[in-house]
Amino acid sequence: MEKIGFIGLGIMGRPMAKNLIKAGYKLFVYDKYAKFDDIIALGAEGVSSNRAAASESDVIIIMLPNSPHVREAVLGKNGVAEGIRSGAIVIDMSSIAPAASKEVGEALAAKGVEFLDAPVSGGEPKAIDGTLAIMVGGKKDIFEKVKPILDKMGSSVVLVGGIGAGNVTKLANQIIVALNIAAVSEAFTLSTKAGVDPQQVFEAIKGGLAGSTVMNAKIPMILDNNFKPGFRIELHIKDLQNALDTAHELGVPVPLTANVMETLQALKNDGFAANDHSAIVRHYEKLAKIEVRRK
């Protein structure tokens, strides 16, 4: 069974790594920013650098916040590119700009290394239970080779195109999620201000055309005043900035995305950057001077 280097053990990477260990894979783990003693206690081997993780592994998985972090981990000093062997496979599961994925993929190809961009959707709960949606860009034969590994972390693993296509798909996902949460927040603020119990509104509409996975996941959190992050507002800001940058490069107007981005920026300014993105409702509550909560 392949030896796996795992770089990035934050909110998402930590449970993903744990699921691979449970599946019997040997992991070599490293994170510049977080402690990972709990992962080592489960049987992983801790290493001292990104380079060391790569030198020990057949497959290297990266799960970091944004494009600069991935570039540094792969192409920087003591990075993956310095330690990796020809024929190895790098799977970047971070959500970054598609252009950055192509840049990293080209640099690794020059060393005889295969690359997939494979961002995920589902947040911490689905990372924990191994049911993430994983959208993959890269060569079909390489995808098929590592799919058994990805299947241990996700319930939906789909090849969507060449390198960069995974992150294009993730940007589309993040646009839809942000706009959906905003729409739900706006609608439930209106119904609450009108004096209708938001729980009853939820029960009445969740089975109809307005129903969605987003509504089912976020309305219970909102009603319970629970904004503990599964996916932080500051990370959604990062994703929408990548979406806006990519859209502008391609000449694609995205006015609704820009509007929600400003809402997220306002929430960040109000001190809610570390809240779950369901806290988009706080912006509407502030404007309407009412709270959407259980009665």
Q: Which residues are catalytic?
A: 170
Of 49, 15, 58, nearest in space to 31 by CA? 49
Q: Read off φ and ψ for residue 156, nearest 5 degrees.
A: -130, 115
**In the numeric block, which tokens belong to residue 176?**
């839809």
**In the numeric block, which tokens belong to residue 83?**
């330690």
d(CA 211, CA 199) in angstroms, rounded, equals 14
Q: Max CA-CA distance within the chain?
A: 64
DSSP 88-102: -EEEE-S---HHHHH
Q: 215: Cβ–Cβ under 8 A, 6 or more apart, which residues?
A: 180, 184, 202, 206
- Alpha-carbon dihedral angle through residues 264, 270, 274, 279, given to the nearest 10 degrees: -60
Cα–Cα–Cα angle for 99, 274, 281, rounded to 5 degrees: 95
